[in-house]
Every structure is written in C-alpha cells, then in structure tokens.
A = this chain, B = another copy of it.
Amino acid sequence: MDDTAQQRLKKVHDTLTRAERQLAGAILENYPMSGLGSITRLAEKAEVSTPTVVRMVQKLGYSGFPEFQAALREELEAQISNPIDKRDSWSNTAPQEHLLNRFTDAVIGNIRQTLAHIDPADFDAVAALLADEAQSVFIAGGRITHALSEYLHLHLQVIRGRVQHIPTTSNAWPHALLDIEPGDVVVIYDIRRYENSTLKLAEMAAARGARTVLVTDQWQSPISRFATYSFSCRIEAPSAWDSTVAMMLLSETLIAAVQEAAWERTRDRMGALEEMFDETRIFRKFV
C-alpha cells in the first residue's frame, strides 16, 4: 500500500465515519495544500477535532499526522520537479547503475540547479560588459579551473581585442595587474579549495577599480565579497573530484552571448583568423 494520499482517501471513503468524511472532503478540496499546515488548522478548516484527524490518517495507513504530511510533501515534490531529469537512463545500452548513467544524472542535476540560480539580468550585464571593447578583460583561473579560464580566453580573443589570461598558479600574475585600469573587467574562476593567490588577485584587482566577475561553486569562494557579479555553479559528482561541466556550460553560453552582441566585429576577426590558418596550413583543407 504505497498509493498517494489522495488515492488512499478515495479507497477508504466508504468506511469512513461522518466527521472523517467531512475531513476527507476538506483535504481533497484543495489537495494537497490544506494538509501542509498544522493539524490544528486542518481540523479547524474541516470543522472537526484534532483527534479525528489523527484517527483518520491512521486509517489511511500512516503512523501519525507527521508521516501523513511528509507523504504529502513527497508527492508534491514529485509533481513539481522537472520531468526532464526523470529520464531513467542516458545510455540505454548500459545498466542504470553504470557510472556513465550515474555521472550524467549528477551532471544534469548540476546544470539544472546552476541555471535556476543564475540571474538572467546579471548574465546579460556580464555579456554586455565582455562585449564592450572600451575596457580590457582579464581572465584568471586556479589549478582545476585553469582549463576553463583558458577556454574562455581562447574564444574571447577571437571576438575582441584586449583580452588577457592570468594564470594564478604561476608567479607571473602580479605583472598582469600593472595593466589593470579602473573599469576593466576581471573574470575569475574559483572553486574549492579556494586558492590564496586567487583571492589576493581579486582583492588587488578590486583595489585598482576593476569590476570582477566571479564564477564559483555552490559554496561560494571568499572572493564573492569583492565581486561585482557572481555566478555559483553546482559541481557535485559521484567522483573524488568535482564536475566543472556546469561552469563550462555557463562559459560557453557567455561566449555565445558576447559573440551575438558583437557579431559584426566577431565575423571580421574570424575571417582574418581563417586566412591566417590557411596560410599556416594548420588545418586540413576540406570541410
């Protein structure tokens, strides 16, 4: 017997007494919200006594009111949660419990959570900031996030000039600070364990009047206090390491937005880049 409370109510409806039927009616009236308050309020609303409520939920098979309420919450959660991640398995050739499926499940969850937390206005503002060639852009990453910062840098370079990459793990980064001017934009990736040098960099950049865009994890790098804009991405995964997929997604989406905002310029620069590639014969000549 693990039906929903609603089903249980209907099933036992005939065996209920007068006051209990009255109560059942009140619950079903706006199901399941009315059941989420206190037992007292439910009793008041149904115009029965609280013991009646207890007796009835026990008839339904719950040990008591709290258990009944927990069941309601679970149902509601299932009803609300996004059907997109309800997919039973991603790789249908692999069993459900294969790492491929488990890991992907986690990552999709991360993506969903991350997107839910991003303020579109912030996102648009940052995209506009990065598209504007009036100020320079500096990009910094830590040990793990270096790959991401490099990736962002690589693409932004095509879209605009005045983009510089600062690898915080090297000791060359103080030099880069020299070039930072008030109004410039510093994009920093920082996830646990948060690096001291990165924090220092953010601090100094802020002191120089730069605007900081922070991409961090759900526990928030200490840098967030200096940051003009801050995006927190979920990074949990069934692994000894964190997953940066959500951050990668955010980065790519940002790149796409910036590119869209500065399409004229991007097209020209891409064209020039192509020509150079042709001359250097880095790429194959077909497709």
Measuring CB to CB, which residues of chain A are less than 8 angstroms from any residue of chain B?
10, 21-22, 25, 28-31, 33, 36-37, 70, 73, 76-77, 80-84, 87-88, 90-94, 98-101, 103-104, 107-108, 111-113, 115-120, 123, 143-144, 146-148, 150-151, 154-155, 169, 192-197, 199, 218-220, 222, 232, 237-241, 243-245, 248-249, 252-253, 255-257, 259-260, 266, 270, 277, 281-284, 287
Residues of B within 8 A of A76 (CB): 33, 76
What's the minimum C-beta distance from A36 to chain B, rounded to whole angstroms? 6
Min Cβ gap A239→B in Å is 4
The 15 listed contacts between A and B (C-beta, < 8 Å) are: A33-B80, A36-B36, A91-B115, A91-B116, A94-B123, A98-B120, A100-B118, A103-B253, A107-B252, A108-B111, A144-B154, A196-B284, A239-B256, A239-B260, A240-B266
**Residue among B84, B199, B240, B260 making CB contact with A99, cutoff 8 Å:** B260
Q: Given contacts A33-B80, A244-B248, list 14 more A-B pairs with CB under 8 A.
A: A28-B117, A30-B77, A90-B115, A93-B119, A100-B253, A108-B108, A146-B150, A147-B154, A150-B150, A195-B282, A195-B284, A239-B252, A241-B256, A245-B249
Q: Is the CB of B104 within 8 A of A120?
A: no
Copy number in this complex? 2
Q: Is A241's CB under 8 angstroms from B252's CB? A: yes
- B119 A10 Cβ-Cβ under 8 A: yes
Select one of B83, B107, B123, B257 contacting A249, CB under 8 A.
B107
Known: A119-B10, A196-B282, A284-B199. A240 touches B218 (CB 8 A): no
A18-B218 Cα distance, complex, nearest whole Å:
12
Contacts A99-B253, A147-B147 given: A283-B33 contact, CB under 8 Å?
no
- List, in ascending order, chain B residues with CB within 8 A of A91's CB: 115-116, 118, 120
Tell me if A197 and B98 are in contact (CB < 8 A).
no
How far, in angstroms, from A208 to B160 measured CA to CA in the complex?
Answer: 42
**Residues B151 and A147 in contact, CB atoms below 8 Å apart:** yes
Which residues of the partner chain B approach A282 to less than 8 Å between Cβ atoms?
Answer: 143, 169, 195-197
Chain B residue, CB-CB nearest to A41: B70
Nearest chain B CB to A191's CB is how many angstroms away? 11
In this complex, what residue of B is CB-closest to A89? B115
In the complex formed, the residue of B with least CB distance to A28 is: B117
| A92 surroundings in chain B (CB, below 8 A) | 116
CB of B120 within 8 A of CB of A283, answer no
B77, A256: Cβ atoms closer than 8 Å: no
In the assembly, what is the distance between CA of A267 and CA of B113, in Å? 30
Asked if residues A22 and B219 are in contact (CB atoms below 8 Å), the reply is yes
C-alpha spacing A243/B37, complex, angstroms: 30
Query: In the complex the two chains form, is A147's CB within 8 Å of B150's CB?
Result: yes
